[in-house]
């Protein structure tokens, strides 16, 4: 008989990144019994990798900043496809969430008058990113981790055990959400998974689940994302009956290292550009001036001289074009490389060495200096870096209610990168870390209060559990199944080559047929070895999630016949106001196929619309909407 | 591309061995790349932790040619062309499988350490600190929790018996960080470090500093200042007086007596002392219970009279003094 470890919680949070930890803290503060589940060790989630900072309009550096300006920047960055209400809540609540971190023990860099320092970042009008050197994500996750420990200490004092009310299940992967469908309504009843260490199965019975599983980048070969990013949360939500929106929008970070191989995919933070770094092609030309789109013409410098003055006198000069939003920079680099002006490894040069004294670079970018020096023997104070577009972030995700983070299935909530809508077609740098905090808190809060409304706890259906067990064990039982690593690599090739940064109709069509071949092959994946800490088996189980999420991306990318933010179609290079009114929504049919539909996007309220210039709105909206 | 010789430890808690592998290595790769190639081409179930492959998460700790390192930060070009590279799991922690060890010790120690205490009268958003004051703590907050320092420290490496009393360098820098935090409301961090974290065991060998991939000056900037000031406080009559008027709950909350007499376990050569007081304590054994969960008090059911001995039922008297670690104070 199969042994299944059982646990009983009020709220189960899947994911121990910024969003998951913040949600867990909130649910615990609401008095609930909470489990935090994570595929890796506690404190190692992807959030540790964020470098640049967390955007919040605190106005510490430039007092002109406020939530309205932040809201405007976010909407512009997302090309007005954002869920306006999420963007509004985010801009309004981010400062509180950051200040709160200080009460948990965070130590941000300071301004002269002792407040939290804020730095410039692409797409933000004022210096807005709270940061700690270039390891802001680490600070964020460590702070939340330590806050959790402090709550556990309170629980120990009160109830006698650290994990009386808040327990971390590290190295535990959830493979299925369990639903109670009695009475004709789907409600979350729990989650099923396995301990990576032992391979033993585990069942969490809980009326509320918060998804905070991060992104999908592992479907691409050149990516900044780790093995965890296999789109588990996206796929779990789909299978539970929730919907994904905006899956065509993937952010390719413009400046990931392309050479040497030991650092391929590692990002060079935007602050290198914010602090004076410039982009040059193999001919040594600073090319960004040629790629300023009309919508941004007014805010960006036209000459290198003006751009260089901006660093010291931002009020009287326009900003350098290197600080354009990410997609513009990525596209510019891509064009240069395609035109034959790239480096051998297919990138361009990012040069800060020749523009700032070594000591200043060391002070401003210490961990980056140290990382490249040690990993690749590249000295960023002495030589330019070789950079190019890298798959980095998925804007699309689970469709949620803006205020409650509810995912449309009773008891299911989503926050962080796994949720969609907040960033529209493109995320501004730094908006993710604040997004995690703002919506992580909301998800925890509303998940907790949902459990209060229940007269009766939903019941786990034993049949579903049996199916989940069976599903998890088949790759191990299959003799001569296909190697999961080969399958993953083939999937990455399809996505990288055919659904990459610049997309075409023919290629997208081809990708769909290649993906359906892969779907068949993945059904026959096999894993050798036993159940104890077996990465081959783990990957075999992740593959089906990666596949379904890739299918959503490819389908939506084929459908959207325009270019906007993180979606660039070579055959439809312009932004089209008609497409701005549409979200592409993916759901699963009963047989497990991806079903794509159009859905109108919510109309912004008049008071928020009034924050924009009419002439600016004209670039995004149809005449009918404007009148 | 070249083909290189690797020895990788494979096995689990029950035991294991070094296996030989020939693996392709490309220019510019790191050890973790090679481990991944091994997984993809030869050993799909080779267990190894990693996340960021960028030296930021501290997951890929392993011992490479005996040195505690991050796999993703060890460039292949640092080895000779014909050198065999030996990769083994961290030695201080119990092996789970292959290169993966059970590092829960570190999380447990972190749990036992009193958390940041926010100042009572400062509202969120009103925290004011100078950069120069936060920088000292920020150095320690760079820690990526790779636990290489913990793995290296001789106090616990091969000395499981010291683990209960010793938190290790990772937690000493956490103590120092809080001690130097401009707004932390607790002022007994050093005492806690001394009394319940086992700071006294550290004899400043600096091995931890040497292996720290974040180049945190663990000994110079955290341990030594903490030790010095503990000494200051102990012998400064004013401070001693000041401490007396603190309420008990203002002092260390969890303060079991630390090793105040000897720094570390003392083992006396056989025959030199009547007892061996460095010996590990026999854990108290639970009494035998019957199926209903109760102790058999009835002589008819139990194999001996009265309740079971709290010292364990397998002890015969008189006890051989050499097996005790009790030292009579008057002898
Ligand atoms: C290199 C890099 C730099 C970045 N820099 C910035 C920046 O400067 N500013 C900014 O705002 N954003 C930045 N981002 C983006 C930001 O870091 C991420 O979007 C954000 O951290 C995502 O957080 P999260 O809480 O949603 O998920 P994560 O932190 O990724 O956590 C996901 C969690 O879910 C768990 N999980 C996943 N699947 C399962 C499963 N099936 N079962 C159980 N657990 C599961 C994982 O183990 C993990 O704990 C950066 C991202 C990268 C990669
Ligand atoms: S200096 Fe102290 S803590 Fe560091 S390794 Fe040596 S004994 Fe251990
Ligand atoms: S102090 Fe250094 S060696 Fe120790 S856990 Fe932190 S980063 Fe690793
Ligand atoms: S994989 Fe993150 S430190 Fe090596």
Q: What pLDDT shows up at residue A37?
A: 98
Rounded distance between C-alpha atoms, residue A200 and residue B105, angstroms: 22
**Residue keyed to tokens 């006396």:** B268
Report, at the CATH architecture level, how domain A4-49+135-250+393-459 is classified. 3-Layer(bba) Sandwich (3.50)
Length of chain A, in residues: 627
Q: B82 preceded by cis ω (within 30°)?
A: no
Rounded distance between C-alpha atoms, residue A350 and residue A599, angstroms: 41
Q: What pLDDT shows up at residue B235?
A: 47
CA–centroid distance, A92 to ligand 1, in Å, is 22
Ligand lying closest to the C-alpha of residue B32: 4
SS3 label, residue A315: coil
Whether B252 contacts B188, CB under 8 Å? yes
Q: Which two tokens stand for residue A372?
A: 């490249």
Of A113-117, A287-291, A375-379, A396-400, the poorest mean pLDDT is in A375-379
Q: Which two tokens stand for residue B307?
A: 């309740």
Determine, for residues B51 and A142 on separate chains, whether the beta-carbon distance falls below 8 Å. Answer: no
Whether A438 contacts A234, CB under 8 Å? no
Determine, for residues A227 and B130 on separate chains, whether the beta-carbon distance falls below 8 Å. Answer: no
* Exposure b/e, A224-249, CB count within 10 A at least 16 = b: bbbbbbbbbbbbbbbbbbbbbbbbbb
H-helix or E-strand spanning residue A369: helix A366-376
Chain B residues within an 8 Å CB radius of A535 = 39, 44-48
Q: A260 preceded by cis ω (within 30°)?
A: yes
Mean pLDDT over A316-328 rounds to: 86
* Exposure b/e, B170-189, CB count within 10 A at least 16 = b: bbbbbbbbbbbbbbbebebb
Residue A518 vs residue A503, higher pLDDT: A518
- Taking 80 as the threshold, does the pLDDT of residue A195 lie above it? yes
Rounded distance between C-alpha atoms, residue A153 and residue A158, angstroms: 9
Report how far apart the first and last C-alpha atoms of chain B are (Å, whole number).
Answer: 70
**Residue keyed to tokens 């609540």:** A93
Report, at the CATH architecture level, how domain A476-576 is classified. Up-down Bundle (1.20)
HEC secondary structure over A112-177: CCCCECEECCCCCCCCCEECCCCCHHHHHHHHHHHHHHHHHHHHHHHHCCCCCCEEEECCEEEEEE
pTM: 0.85
CA–centroid distance, A217 to ligand 3, in Å, is 28
Q: What pLDDT shows up at residue A524?
A: 94
Mean pLDDT over A359-368 rounds to: 85
Rounded distance between C-alpha atoms, residue A392 and residue A225, angstroms: 6
Rounded distance between C-alpha atoms, residue A547 and residue A520, angstroms: 11
Rounded distance between C-alpha atoms, residue B306 and residue B303, angstroms: 10
Q: Where does residue B79 rank: exposed (0-12), middle (13-18), buried (19+ CB within 10 A)?
A: middle
The CA distance from B165 to the nearest CA of chain A, in Å, is: 19
Task: Give B316-321's long-range contacts (Cβ < 8 A, gap of 24+).
Answer: B321/B274, B321/B275
Nearest partner of A228 among A475, A487, A49, judged by Cα: A49
Whether A286 contacts A341, CB under 8 Å? no
The CA distance from B319 to the nearest CA of chain A, in Å, is: 36
Active-site choice (A72, A128, A187, A326): A326
Considering chain A, what is the average pLDDT of its residues? Answer: 92
Whether A187 contacts A180, CB under 8 Å? yes
Mean pLDDT over A306-324 rounds to: 90
Q: What pLDDT shows up at residue B163?
A: 94
Rounded distance between C-alpha atoms, residue A168 and residue A35, angstroms: 6
pLDDT tens, position by position, A342-360: 988 778 999 999 999 999 8
Q: Does A105 touch chain B (CB under 8 A)?
A: yes
Whether A132 contacts A58, CB under 8 Å? no
The CA distance from B134 to the nearest CA of chain A, in Å, is: 7
SS3 label, residue A466: helix
Q: What pLDDT shows up at residue A623?
A: 85
Longest dimension (CA), chain A: 74
Q: What pLDDT shows up at residue B302?
A: 46
Contacts of A116 (CB under 8 A, 6+ apart): A58, A60, A98, A99, A102, A108, A109, A110, A130
pLDDT tens, position by position, A490-500: 999 899 889 98
Fold annotation for A253-391: Flavocytochrome C3; Chain A, domain 1 (3.90.700)
Q: What is the Cβ-side half-sphere exposure of residue B276, based on CA atoms within 13 angstroms?
A: 13
Residue numbers of B between 212 and 271 with CB closer than 8 Å to A: 213, 215
Determine, for residues A105 and B115 on separate chains, whether the beta-carbon distance falls below 8 Å. Answer: yes
Chain B residues within an 8 Å CB radius of A43 = 145
Rounded distance between C-alpha atoms, residue A191 and residue A37, angstroms: 10
Complex ipTM, two decimals? 0.85
The CA distances from residue A48 to A104, A137, A213, A438, in Å, are 17, 4, 14, 18
Does residue B203 line the site of ligand 2, with CB under 6 A?
A: yes
Determine, for residues A536 and B44 on separate chains, whether the beta-carbon distance falls below 8 Å. Answer: yes
Ligand lying closest to the C-alpha of residue B90: 3
Q: For ligand 4, pick from B64, B68, B70 the residue to mutate: most ligand atoms within 8 Å of CB.
A: B70
Domain map of chain A by residue range? 4-49+135-250+393-459, 253-391, 476-576
pLDDT tens, position by position, A277-298: 999 999 999 999 999 988 888 8
Q: Say which DSSP state A428 is in.
A: P
Q: Does A375 touch chain B (CB under 8 A)?
A: yes
Q: Where residue A24 falls among pLDDT bands split at 50, 70, 90?
A: very high
Residue in chain B lying closest to A162 (CA): B111
Q: What pLDDT shows up at residue A337?
A: 83
Q: What pLDDT shows up at residue A150?
A: 96
| Residue-level pLDDT, tens digit, chain B, 331 residues | 789 999 999 999 999 999 999 999 987 789 999 999 999 899 989 999 999 888 899 999 999 999 999 999 898 988 998 999 999 999 999 999 999 999 999 999 999 999 999 999 999 999 999 999 999 999 999 999 999 999 999 999 989 999 999 999 999 999 999 999 999 999 899 999 998 999 999 989 999 999 999 999 999 999 999 987 665 554 444 443 433 333 334 434 333 333 333 334 444 444 444 444 455 544 444 555 666 666 555 444 445 444 445 455 555 666 666 665 555 544 4
Rounded distance between C-alpha atoms, residue B20 and residue A504, angstroms: 47
Q: Rounded to the nearest 5°, which phi and psi values hold at B254? A: -110, 100
CA–centroid distance, A100 to ligand 4, in Å, is 29
Mean pLDDT over A510-535 rounds to: 94
Chain B residues within an 8 Å CB radius of A532 = 12, 47, 96-97
Whether A343 contacts A264, CB under 8 Å? no
How many C-beta atoms surround the C-beta of residue B246 within 10 A?
11
Q: What pLDDT shows up at residue B317?
A: 63
Contacts of A377 (CB under 8 A, 6+ apart): B75, B77
Whether B315 contacts B263, CB under 8 Å? no
Q: Rounded to the nearest 5°, which phi and psi values hold at A36? A: -110, 125
- Taking 90 as the threshold, does the pLDDT of residue A163 lie above it? yes
CA–centroid distance, B209 to ligand 4, in Å, is 19
Does residue A39 line the site of ligand 1, with CB under 6 A?
A: yes
Q: What pLDDT shows up at residue B319?
A: 63
Residues in a beta bridge with A11: A34, A208
Chain B residues within an 8 Å CB radius of A364 = none
SS3 label, residue B261: coil
Nearest partner of A57 among A40, A39, A78, A74, judged by Cα: A74
CA–centroid distance, A195 to ligand 4, in Å, is 21
Q: Does B137 touch chain A (CB under 8 A)?
A: yes
How many C-beta atoms surround the C-beta of residue A313 within 10 A?
8
Does residue A38 line the site of ligand 1, with CB under 6 A?
A: yes
* Percent share of chain A, pLDDT over 90: 73
Q: Which two tokens stand for residue B293?
A: 């969960």
pLDDT tens, position by position, A196-242: 999 999 999 999 999 999 999 888 877 777 788 899 999 999 999 99
Residue in chain B lying closest to A485 (CA): B40
Rounded distance between C-alpha atoms, residue A153 and residue B111, angstroms: 7
Mean pLDDT over A180-205 rounds to: 94
H-helix or E-strand spanning residue A464: helix A462-477
Rounded distance between C-alpha atoms, residue B64 and residue A478, angstroms: 35
Report how many Cβ contacts below 8 Å link chain A to chain B: 178
Q: Where residue A325 falls among pLDDT bands split at 50, 70, 90?
A: confident
Q: What pLDDT shows up at residue A225?
A: 79
Q: Which two tokens stand for residue B84?
A: 């065999």
Q: What pLDDT shows up at residue A479?
A: 85
Q: What pLDDT shows up at residue A469?
A: 96
Task: Say what angle helices B189-196 and B169-180 make with each other, to 10 degrees.
Answer: 160
Mean pLDDT over A290-307 rounds to: 90
Does residue B220 line the site of ligand 2, with CB under 6 A?
A: no
Q: What pLDDT shows up at residue B278?
A: 52
Helices (H) and strands (E) in chain B, counts: 9, 7
Angle at A619 between CA A613 and CA A622, to 5 degrees: 105
């Amino acid at each position: 008989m199969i042994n299944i470890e059982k646990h009983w919680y009020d709220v189960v949070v899947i994911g121990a990144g910024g969003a998951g930890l913040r949600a867990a803290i909130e649910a615990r503060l609401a008095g609930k019994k909470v489990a935090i589940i994570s595929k890796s060790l506690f404190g190692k989630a992807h959030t540790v990798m964020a470098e640049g900072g967390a955007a919040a309009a605190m106005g510490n550096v430039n007092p002109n900043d406020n939530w309205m300006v932040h809201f405007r920047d976010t909407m512009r960055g997302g090309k007005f496809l954002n869920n306006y209400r999420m963007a509004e809540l985010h801009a309004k609540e981010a400062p509180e969430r950051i200040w709160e971190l200080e009460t948990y023990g965070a130590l941000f860099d300071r301004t002269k008058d002792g407040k939290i320092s804020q730095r410039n970042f692409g797409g933000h009008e004022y210096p807005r990113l709270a940061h700690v050197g270039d390891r802001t994500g680490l600070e964020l996750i460590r702070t939340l981790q330590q806050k959790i420990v402090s709550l556990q200490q309170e629980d120990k004092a009160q109830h006698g055990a650290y994990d009386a009310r808040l327990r971390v299940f590290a190295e535990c992967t959830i493979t299925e959400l369990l639903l109670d469908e009695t009475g004709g309504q789907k409600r979350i009843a729990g989650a099923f998974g396995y301990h990576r260490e032992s391979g033993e199965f585990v069942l969490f019975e809980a009326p509320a689940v918060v998804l905070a599983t991060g992104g999908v980048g592992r479907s691409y070969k050149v990516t900044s994302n780790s093995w965890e990013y296999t789109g588990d949360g996206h796929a779990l939500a789909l299978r539970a009956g929730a919907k994904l929106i905006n899956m065509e929008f993937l952010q390719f970070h413009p400046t990931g290292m392309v050479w040497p191989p030991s650092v391929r995919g590692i990002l060079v933070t935007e602050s290198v550009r914010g602090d004076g770094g410039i982009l040059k092609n193999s001919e040594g030309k600073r090319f960004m001036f040629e790629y300023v789109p009309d919508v941004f013409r007014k805010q960006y410098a036209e000459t290198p001289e003006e751009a260089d003055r901006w660093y010291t006198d931002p009020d009287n000069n326009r900003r350098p074009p290197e600080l354009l939003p990410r997609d513009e920079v990525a596209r510019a680099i891509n064009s240069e490389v395609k035109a034959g002006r790239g480096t051998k490894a297919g990138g361009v040069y990012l040069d800060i060495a020749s523009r700032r004294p070594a000591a200043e670079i060391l002070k401003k970018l210490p961990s980056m200096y140290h990382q490249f020096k040690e990993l690749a023997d590249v000295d960023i104070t002495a030589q330019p870096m070789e950079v190019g577009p890298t798959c980095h972030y998925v804007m699309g995700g689970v469709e949620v209610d803006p205020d409650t983070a509810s995912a449309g299935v009773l008891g299911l909530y989503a926050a962080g990168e796994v949720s969609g809508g907040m960033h529209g077609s493109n995320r501004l740098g730094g908006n993710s870390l604040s997004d995690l905090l703002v919506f992580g808190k909301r998800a925890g809060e509303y998940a907790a209060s949902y459990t209060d409304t229940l007269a009766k706890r939903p019941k786990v259906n034993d049949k579903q559990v049996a199916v989940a067990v069976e599903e998890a064990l088949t790759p191990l039982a299959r003799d001569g199944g296909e190697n999961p690593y080969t399958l993953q690599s083939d999937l990455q090739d399809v996505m990288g080559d055919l659904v990459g940064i610049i997309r075409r109709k023919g290629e997208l069509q081809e990708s769909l047929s290649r993906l359906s071949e892969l779907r068949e092959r993945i059904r026959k994946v096999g894993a050798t070895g036993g159940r104890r800490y077996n990465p081959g088996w783990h990957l075999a189980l992740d593959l089906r999630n990666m596949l379904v999420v890739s299918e959503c991306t490819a389908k939506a990318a084929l459908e959207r016949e325009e270019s906007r933010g993180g979606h660039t179609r070579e055959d439809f290079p312009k932004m089209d106001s008609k497409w701005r009114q549409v979200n592409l929504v993916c759901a699963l049919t009963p047989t497990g196929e991806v079903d794509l539909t159009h859905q109108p996007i919510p109309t912004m309220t008049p008071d928020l619309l009034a924050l924009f210039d009419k002439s600016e709105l004209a670039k995004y909206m149809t005449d009918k909407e404007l009148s | 591309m070249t083909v290189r010789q690797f020895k990788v430890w494979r096995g689990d808690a029950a035991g294991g061995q070094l296996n030989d592998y020939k693996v392709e290595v490309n220019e510019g790769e790191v050890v973790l790349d090679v481990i991944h190639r091994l997984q993809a081409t030869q050993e799909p179930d080779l267990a190894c932790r990693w996340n960021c492959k960028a030296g930021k998460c501290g997951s890929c700790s392993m011992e490479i040619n005996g040195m505690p390192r991050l796999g993703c930060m060890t460039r292949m070009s640092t080895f000779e062309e014909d050198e065999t590279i030996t990769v083994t799991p961290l030695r201080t922690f119990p092996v789970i499988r292959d290169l993966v060890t059970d590092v829960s010790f570190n999380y447990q120690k972190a749990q036992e350490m009193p958390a940041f205490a926010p100042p009572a009268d400062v509202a969120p958003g009103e925290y004011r600190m100078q950069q120069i004051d936060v920088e000292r703590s920020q150095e320690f907050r760079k820690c990526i929790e790779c636990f290489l320092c913990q793995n290296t420290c001789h106090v616990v490496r091969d000395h499981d018996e010291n683990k209960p009393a010793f938190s290790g360098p990772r937690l000493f820098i956490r103590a120092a960080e809080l001690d130097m935090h401009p707004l932390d409301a607790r002022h007994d961090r050093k005492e806690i470090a001394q009394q319940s974290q086992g700071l006294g065991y550290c004899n400043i060998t600096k091995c931890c500093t040497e292996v720290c991939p974040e180049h945190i000056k663990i000994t110079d900037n955290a341990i030594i200042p903490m030790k010095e000031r503990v000494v200051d406080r102990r012998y400064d009559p004013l401070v001693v007086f000041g401490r007396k008027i603190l309420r008990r709950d203002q002092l260390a909350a969890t303060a079991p007596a630390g090793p105040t007499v000897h720094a570390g376990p003392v083992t006396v050569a056989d025959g030199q002392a009547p007892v061996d007081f460095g010996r590990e304590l026999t854990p108290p054994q639970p009494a035998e219970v019957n199926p209903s969960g109760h102790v058999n008090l009835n002589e008819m059911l139990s194999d001996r009279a009265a309740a079971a001995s709290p010292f364990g039922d397998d002890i015969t008297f008189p006890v051989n003094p050499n097996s005790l670690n009790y030292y009579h104070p008057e002898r």
